[in-house]
Amino acid sequence: PYYARPTQEALYRWYATIAGEFPHLPIVIYNVPSRTAVDIHPQTVARLRHAHDNIIGIKETTKDFEHFSRVLHLCGRDFLMWSGIELLCLPLLAIGGAGFVSAAANLAPATVARMYTAYTTGDHTTALDLHYALHPLVDLLFVETNPAPAKWVLHQRGLIASAHVRPPLIPPTDAGVRRIEELLAQSKEIAG
């Protein structure tokens, strides 16, 4: 695990350096404080956005919906935001988010795609039904440290060659596998 937590100024300089070195490439910021112990503040995101035309969006993996709203407000409606928190996907779309980067889509791609399409075509009832149907799969992803549970399921389905995860992660424990199987049974109709 990384040890040093950068300040907002250090984060700004890091992304500014990347954006400056590769002005022809679109850059997407990734904010994942649960993994990095550092939150990229909305003001820092806005400062980057307004200084570099090629910073086009952010993957927000926070549970702070106010944070989502502030970033979108400060960065403008053409700034793209994707949610990395499964259960905040639909609310983010409602305030102008572009979509989501879904780990659950690895396990139920058709269902996640149908949910997105239903929402964006105005069928909010279907979108909400699918959103709630996905809850057991979302819970499954975090029975133990993700991506271990997802890789275990994909390997069991024969979709990937190995459930191996890089250390210090480990494959799901026996207790974890039992819980994963319970949650898969609850979501059998959508999980394939």
Q: How far apart are CA 104 and CA 171, in angstroms?
A: 18
% of the chain beyond a pLDDT of 90: 92
Class of domain 1-101: alpha beta
Using the predicted structure, report yes or no on whether residue 190 has a pLDDT greater than 80: no
- What pLDDT score was predicted for residue 106? 93
Q: How far apart are CA 160 and CA 53, in angstroms?
A: 38
**What tens digit of pLDDT does each residue of 162-186 get?**
999 999 999 999 999 999 999 999 9
Domain span(s) for CATH 3.20.20.70 in the chain: 1-101
- What pLDDT score was predicted for residue 191? 65
**What tens digit of pLDDT does each residue of 68-119 get?**
999 999 999 999 999 999 899 999 999 999 999 999 999 999 999 999 999 9
Q: Average pLDDT in the 145-151 region? A: 96
CA-wise closest residue to 143 among 96, 87, 181, 192: 181
127-151 exposure pattern, b = at least 16 Cβ within 10 A, e = fewer: beebbebbebbbbbbebbeebbbbb
- What pLDDT score was predicted for residue 147? 96
- 127 — pLDDT class (breaks 50, 70, 90): very high
Annotated active-site residue 59? The verdict is: yes
Choose, from 12, 30, 63, 132, the residue flagged as catalytic.
30
40-66 exposure pattern, b = at least 16 Cβ within 10 A, e = fewer: bbbebbbbbbeebeebbbbbbbbeeee
- 1 — pLDDT class (breaks 50, 70, 90): low
Using the predicted structure, report yes or no on whether residue 28 has a pLDDT greater than 80: yes
Choose, from 59, 116, 132, 151, the residue flagged as catalytic.
59
- 4 — pLDDT class (breaks 50, 70, 90): confident
- What pLDDT score was predicted for residue 80? 98
Q: Average pLDDT in the 6-13 region? A: 97
